[in-house]
């Protein structure tokens, strides 16, 4: 078996290839739980809620950056776009509120990747 070239390896926290994209599905589920919980919180700013809902509508719309007719890549692009939308949503919410919901849902240690860029 050939060794993987470290120059071509994906950065930490970024999955490589289709197998990596499939590993994102549980992460997307956790972030979805967190986002849904935050959507119901009245302390979350309205503009943050609008950003999340708008992004979700774009994912569900027939307009795509990479068309669904391109096998695998069309669906993966939607997955990554949705994760980016959730990351923006989480950045728009005050950190103490997000941390409270993470604790309430028992997601400590499971939602690190998108939150590590939070200020």
Each residue's pLDDT, cut to its tens digit, for the chain (119 residues) gives 444 444 444 444 544 555 666 666 777 788 888 999 999 999 999 999 999 999 888 878 777 667 767 777 777 777 788 888 888 898 999 989 988 998 898 887 766 655 655 55
CB 55 within 8 A of CB 81: yes
Contacts of residue 118, Cβ cutoff 8 Å, sequence gap at least 6: 90, 91, 95, 98
Q: Which of 104, 92, 96, 82 is nearest to 29 (CA)?
A: 82
CB 58 within 8 A of CB 81: yes
CB 73 within 8 A of CB 21: no
């Amino acid at each position: 078996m050939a060794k993987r070239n470290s120059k071509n390896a994906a950065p930490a926290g970024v999955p490589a290839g289709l197998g990596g994209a499939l590993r994102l599905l549980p992460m997307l589920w956790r972030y979805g739980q967190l986002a849904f919980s935050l959507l119901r919180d009245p302390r979350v700013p309205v503009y943050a809620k609008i950003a999340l809902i708008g992004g979700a509508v774009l994912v569900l719309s027939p307009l795509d950056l990479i068309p669904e007719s391109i096998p695998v890549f069309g669906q993966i692009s939607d997955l990554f776009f949705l994760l980016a939308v959730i990351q923006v949503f989480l950045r728009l919410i005050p950190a103490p509120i997000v941390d409270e919901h993470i604790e309430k849902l028992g997601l400590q240690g499971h939602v690190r990747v998108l939150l590590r860029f939070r200020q």
